[in-house]
Chain A
């Protein structure tokens, strides 16, 4: 079976029959599209696919597929397990109907029949079945998993704050777990997915940022981080220090257009853009800031007279609500101010990370990147459980 999700197709190749894949979704992220996309990709391959709906009517489900440009009814091999209509007191014409979605034995009968007659079964919301039928759902899920030795089970699971025991059990009972997370700031600025676990192949843990496009579905993209700061603060040196590959457009030793670097770090591929410090280039900041996910402000710790300009740049780049980190550069020079002195002089809030750096010697530069990634995705990704 195919996965149908960019990058995962390359990493996992395919889902072998008899295996289960769980999309483990942050409650605030539009993650149901993952299960839908996997199903549609396999319909295109000619497989018999069935979708279990517990959160919306079959009509709404078909319309939701259509939003992404996926016309599932064009495929004879598509069917629905309707575990929704009866719950809200409506009738159903679907091929498979769970007449009492609160009764796991009835669920069991229908799901086994669906497994018998299909190659792929996608649970639209495993968490909703748990919410309605209780934790015992997971015992049944184990049984379905064993029963489906010739087919594949894929489930969307929303990781609400359940007891740890339930969350761990969901991960343990799946052969592969893909985390769908949000980049949290004051709002969710972006989304990512990464493999937490897989037992049929060895893969290197990798996080991919994505957007949900209508029509189109899940599309991967490369995040941008903006490196800004006053003239001669060391921005270009910083970009080169953290990048695996970097280029600068220079004239007379200072940047007049852009530094651009590509960073491979902790499973992320990140585009880093360094901006010129001179005021005449400020319009560029507006364009780059609107597309970036975070900002690194590089300042010369020995020149407090440049701090007002640094604050001005920060205001211009963070007007879109982006999180930011301060790189207090040139810490190896005499009279370099300490981070707390800089915080006081620049009137920065206590929760803004100020990291001492010496970009010319690559000291502290990865700590800056760590601090920004922590602001963006918290501690949520990076602890692989099978992915290496």
Chain B
């Protein structure tokens, strides 16, 4: 899959987007989803940090309404905001509920003939705050297989410094591609690494929530 905004080609279905806190991982994946969905792909955003309304507002700033959202925040903080056709809410503790709703959206895309689908899971680190790594691993094992079977592309954000090396190593087994983000003081850089592709480090900037690759 070509991602113009990053000027790279992705050859993996399940991609970990890893970097230190505040480097811009969420904005990074939102920009990828924005590009692909604006270009006609189906889009699913699984949010564990912001409510559906916050995510929807962000995309609507760029005139994008056609996004499916799985909100794992509202129910966790005891909100009784209702579900809609495009927004499903589930507690972050309910991994089965998350899995079922992802499949429901995928099934809808499939039956409507939409085969190009991009998914953001933002963020795996929040799930790891509530549940142990083995539980999260089992959940992601099922999810990554489903994404691969469908032929979709999914991006999972992970906070680099929040977890021990063993947890990161365990998670990496699930993903066949990684986008690494780094903060080098006065500049932010990224690169994509998979078994067959390793791009150069590229500098990026975020201006008014839009991603700009500088080199």
B window 77-136: CB within 8 A of A:
78, 80, 90-91, 93-97, 99-100, 103, 106-107, 110-111, 113, 130-132, 135
Interface residues on A, range: 35 or more
- Chain A residues lying within 8 Å of B138, measured Cβ to Cβ, are 160-162
B78 touches A187 (CB 8 A): no
Contact with A321, one of B75, B76, B110, B135 (Cβ below 8 angstroms): B110
Of A29-37, A70-78, A215-223, A241-249, the segment with at least 4 beta carbons within 8 Å of chain B is A29-37
A188-B96 contact, Cβ under 8 Å, with A57-B91, A161-B141: no
| Closest chain A residue to B106, Cβ basis | A187
B20 interfacial contact with A, CB 8 Å: no
> Which of B91, B103, B110, B132 sits near A56, CB closer than 8 Å?
B91
State whether the Cβ of A137 lies closer than 8 Å to any Cβ in chain B.
no
A37 to B: closest C-beta gap in Å: 16
A131 within 8 A of B: yes
User: In this assembly, does A25 line the interface, its C-beta being within 8 Å of a C-beta of chain B?
Assistant: yes
Of A1-9, A14-22, A82-90, A280-288, the one contacting chain B is A82-90
B139 on the A face (CB < 8 A): yes
Residues of B within 8 A of A56 (CB): 75, 90-91, 93-94, 97
Q: Which residue of A lies closest to B91 (CB)?
A: A56
Q: Determine if A125 and B78 form an interchain contact, defined as CB atoms under 8 angstroms apart.
A: no
Q: A131-B131, A186-B149 are in contact. Are A28 and B80 (CB under 8 A)?
A: no
- Establish whether residues A63 and B150, one from each chain, have CB atoms under 8 Å apart when the complex forms: no
Please provide the chain A residues from 343 to 387 with a CB less than 8 Å away from any CB of chain B in the complex.
Answer: none
For A131, what are the chain B residues with a Cβ–Cβ distance below 8 Å? 131-132, 135
A29 touches B142 (CB 8 A): no
Chain A residues touching B, majority SS:
loop
Q: Is A320's CB within 8 Å of the partner chain B? A: yes
What secondary structure prevails in chain B residues at the interface with A? Answer: helix
- Given contacts A28-B99, A161-B142, are A186 and B110 in contact (CB under 8 A)? yes
Closest to A67 in B: B83
> Which residues of chain B come closer than 8 Å to A59, judged between CB atoms?
78, 80
Contacts of B132 in A (CB 8 A): 131-132
Closest chain B residue, CB of each to CB of A212: B100
User: Of A28, A125, A162, which one neighbours B103 at CB under 8 angstroms?
Assistant: A28
Considering the chains assembled together, what is the distance between the CA atoms of A60 and B110 in angstroms?
29
Residue tally, chain B, CB below 8 Å to A:
31
Residues on B with beta carbons closer than 8 Å to the beta carbon of A32: 96-97
Which residues of A, 41-60, contact B by the 8 Å Cβ criterion?
54-57, 59-60
Does the CB pair B141–A128 fall under 8 Å? no
User: Nearest CB to that of B111 among chain A residues?
Assistant: A320
Instruction: Please indicate the chain A residues that have their CB under 8 angstroms from the CB of B78 in the complex.
Output: 57, 59, 90
Task: Mark each residue of chain A from 83 to 125: 1 if its CB lies under 8 Å from any CB of chain B, else 0.
Answer: 0100110100000000000000000000000000000000001
A319: interface (CB < 8 Å): yes
A87 with B93: CB separation less than 8 A: yes
A164-193 CB contacts (< 8 Å) to partner B: 182, 184, 186-189
Distance A162 CA – B142 CA, assembled complex (angstroms) = 11
**Is B191 in contact with chain A by the CB < 8 A criterion?**
no
Query: Cβ of A158 < 8 Å from any Cβ of B?
Result: yes
CA distance A59 to B89 in the complex (A): 13
Q: Interface residues, chain B, CB within 8 Å of chain A? A: 75-76, 78, 80, 90-91, 93-97, 99-100, 103, 106-107, 110-111, 113, 130-132, 135, 138-139, 141-142, 146, 149-151
Q: Can you list 5 pairs linking A and B with CB atoms under 8 Å apart?
A: A57-B91, A60-B91, A88-B76, A90-B78, A161-B138
The 7 closest A-B pairs by CB, nearest first: A55-B94, A131-B135, A160-B138, A187-B110, A187-B107, A158-B96, A321-B110
Beyond the given pairs A55-B96, A87-B130, A187-B150, 15 more chain A to chain B contacts, judged by CB atoms under 8 angstroms and listed by A's residue number, are: A27-B95, A27-B142, A31-B96, A54-B93, A55-B97, A56-B93, A57-B75, A84-B93, A158-B95, A158-B96, A184-B149, A186-B150, A187-B110, A188-B103, A321-B110
